[in-house]
């Protein structure tokens, strides 16, 4: 048997969307052990076509493979069926007997969140709104006798929340009708790094204006992936240095100065194999030094190396 630390490392590194229970492959729902959630996280992947309007250099989604099969069920029915089967198996203990989570220490067996985070930007999935409301009702209906109900969490690049209507709907589902959070991606706040890291179709200025609106209306946790790319001397190399950090800090400090409700800022690096092998994890000392520089902000700045 692996040591407890080896078990945790293996589970933290495995965020595969491929999950099966009792021989039945799941398509939309997948459990993972999440460093940042602090325990088990149940992911919901609605991006069966792997669609995203970003093409981040660190994305773990292999878009060269075929899309997931469509299946016959509407997405909302599929998610409800798989969520019910998964939580029933967790309650009965069957989940721990037949999966790699069997070695998970007891304190980490609580499901901390149900997170919309799939093979693409969740808010772009046509079923996102309907499914997120259904999941909210699922959490409200299910008895949580031995643990607190899981948070609903949206992990997003924000682009689906630019319109006021989608912000209102998302705010209601995630933040008003029960415990919930929005984790908003901000990997770069200058045009050069934005286009290098996120490779988005959305122009930089439009993106920043959109994020300004999102942050003005919704409380968020900001998440920043910090990475190096390529080896020294490589003409395409990029190191996450001050030219990346200074605009980021200025942007987030600007939001704080405007009184925006930011719950925390996560600085994290690569924990799982990305699609491009040139992507490299940064030393923890760099993240910690940046977090110290940001310590004046009125919310926690947390490091996840």
- The residues binding ligand SF4 (CB under 6 A) are 52, 54-56, 59, 61, 120-121, 157
The secondary structure of residue 183, as a DSSP letter, is: E
C-beta of 186: minimal distance to ligand SF4 in Å? Answer: 11
User: Given the complex with ligand SF4, which of 51 and 178 has the nearer CB atom?
Assistant: 51
C-beta of 174: minimal distance to ligand SF4 in Å? Answer: 18
C-beta of 122: minimal distance to ligand SF4 in Å? Answer: 9
User: Given the complex with ligand SF4, which of 120 and 180 has the nearer CB atom?
Assistant: 120
C-beta of 10: minimal distance to ligand SF4 in Å? Answer: 22
C-beta of 270: minimal distance to ligand SF4 in Å? Answer: 11
Overall residue count recorded for the chain in this entry: 305
C-beta of 241: minimal distance to ligand SF4 in Å? Answer: 21
User: Given the complex with ligand SF4, which of 8 and 124 has the nearer CB atom?
Assistant: 124
Distance CA 15, CA 60 (A): 9
| Residue at token pair 């909302």 | 76
C-beta of 15: minimal distance to ligand SF4 in Å? Answer: 12
User: Between helices 242-257 and 284-293, what is the axis angle to 10°?
Assistant: 40
User: Given the complex with ligand SF4, which of 59 and 249 has the nearer CB atom?
Assistant: 59
User: Given the complex with ligand SF4, which of 7 and 200 has the nearer CB atom?
Assistant: 200
Strands 20-21 and 24-25: antiparallel
Tokens of 73: 């069920």
Cβ contact 268:225 at 8 Å: yes
Distance CA 79, CA 275 (A): 27
User: Given the complex with ligand SF4, which of 43 and 120 has the nearer CB atom?
Assistant: 120
User: Between helices 204-217 and 164-171, what is the axis angle to 10°?
Assistant: 40
Backbone angles phi, psi at 225, to 5 degrees: -85, 120
Q: What is the DSSP string of 41-86?
A: EEEE---TT---S---TT----TTSPPPP--SS-HHHHHHHHHHHH
User: Given the complex with ligand SF4, which of 73 and 275 has the nearer CB atom?
Assistant: 275
| Residue at token pair 């200074």 | 246
User: Between helices 204-217 and 242-257, what is the axis angle to 10°?
Assistant: 40
């Amino acid at each position: 048997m692996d040591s407890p630390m080896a078990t945790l490392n293996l589970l933290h590194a495995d965020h595969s969307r491929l999950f099966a229970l009792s021989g039945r492959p799941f398509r939309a729902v997948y459990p993972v052990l999440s460093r940042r959630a602090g325990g088990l996280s149940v992911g919901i992947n609605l991006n069966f076509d792997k669609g995203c309007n970003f093409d981040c250099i660190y994305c773990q989604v292999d878009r060269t493979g075929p899309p997931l099969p469509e299946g016959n069920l509407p997405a909302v029915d599929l998610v409800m069926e798989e969520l019910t089967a998964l939580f029933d198996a967790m309650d009965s203990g069957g989940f721990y007997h037949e999966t790699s989570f069997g070695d998970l220490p007891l304190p980490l067996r609580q499901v901390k969140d149900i997170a919309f985070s799939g093979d693409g930007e969740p808010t772009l999935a046509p079923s996102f709104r309907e499914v997120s409301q259904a999941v909210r009702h699922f959490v409200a209906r299910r008895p949580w006798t031995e643990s607190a109900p899981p948070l609903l969490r949206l992990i997003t690049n924000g682009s689906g929340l630019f319109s006021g209507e989608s912000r209102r709907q998302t705010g209601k589902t995630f933040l008003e009708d029960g415990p919930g959070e929005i984790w908003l991606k901000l990997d770069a706040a200058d045009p050069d790094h934005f286009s290098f890291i996120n490779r988005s179709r959305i122009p930089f200025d439009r993106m920043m204006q959109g994020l300004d609106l999102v942050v003005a209306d919704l409380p968020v946790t900001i998440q920043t992936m910090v990475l190096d790319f390529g080896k020294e001397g490589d003409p395409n190399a990029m190191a996450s240095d001050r030219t990346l950090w200074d605009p980021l800090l200025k942007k987030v400090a600007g939001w704080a100065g405007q009184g925006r409700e930011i719950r925390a800022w996560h600085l994290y690096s690569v924990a799982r194999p990305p699609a491009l092998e040139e992507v490299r994890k940064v030393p923890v000392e760099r993240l910690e030094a940046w977090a110290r520089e940001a310590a004046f902000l009125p919310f926690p700045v947390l490091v996840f190396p």
